[in-house]
Amino acid sequence: MKQEGIFYLYRGLLPPLCQRSMEISMMFGVYKTASIALQPLKLSECHEKVACSALAGTAESVLCPFERTMLLLIDSKHHKQFKNTWHAIFRVVKLYGTKELFRGYTSILLRNCCHNICFFMGKDEINRRIRGYENVPVAVQNVIVGSSVGVLLACLFFPLKVVKATMQEKLGGRFKTIKETAQEIYQVDRRGLRNFYRGFKLNILRYMLGWGILNLSYEFIRVRI
């Protein structure tokens, strides 16, 4: 990063900025809408949460092109090929077709659904256990709940994150499945499972802060509207 300069440290900032803001809105919006729509079916609490979370995750997956573009922009192999976000999108569509923007879609769909199921179910479970501590401010409790779920998500799904990134860093050619990509990662340098956990410690910190702030913001806004 020192050799590339500070500019490349923030290269590809626009796609995740757009994607994350829309993704969170869809995550909570679709989940709440689906829970209202499924009420006549009288599902159990667990089944309803799973169904609503999966629907929200499926809706979020349409934002796959943003993640795809971000991976292309931050990959040093493509620094000279793509100038910025819009240039990258237009070039990819022109040379490879719109389908290329959805490379790695299956991994994103699986990740989103699993993330949402664990978040909403884990959030409610931790909330029930922590609400008894009246001496802890509500804001702190919300951060603890979000951070705890974030650590859980990081531990469970980091290998899938690595698979997704590996799928999306390639440009052109055949679309490989999650299984094929996982096998390739496993065989790199004969390191086996260790290849799926490179950067794991930094990712845990990111998930703790990100999901902690997310849950705090959501609860703060929810009680005021």
Span 25-69, pLDDT tens digits = 899 999 999 999 998 888 888 999 999 999 999 999 999 999 999
Residue corresponding to tokens 């979020």: 60
- 113-125 burial, b if ≥16 CB within 10 A, otherwise e? bbbbbbbbbbbee
**pLDDT cut 90: percent of the chain above it:** 41
- pLDDT tens track for 122-132: 888 888 887 76
- Report which DSSP code applies to 47: H
Q: Could you tell me the residue ranges of all domains in the chain?
A: 6-222
Topology (CATH level 3) of domain 6-222: Mitochondrial carrier fold (1.50.40)
- pLDDT tens track for 118-167: 999 988 888 888 776 777 788 888 898 889 999 999 889 999 999 999 99
55: Cβ–Cβ under 8 A, 6 or more apart, which residues? 30, 31, 34
pLDDT value at residue 132: 65
What whole-number distance in Å separates Cα of residue 215 and Cα of residue 225? 16
Instruction: Tell me whether residue 181 is exposed, middle or buried, using C-beta atoms within 10 angstroms of its C-beta: 0 to 12, 13 to 18, 19 or more.
Output: buried
Regarding pTM above 0.75, the answer is yes
Distances (CA, A) of 112 to 133, 148, 186, 221: 32, 18, 23, 23
pLDDT value at residue 138: 83
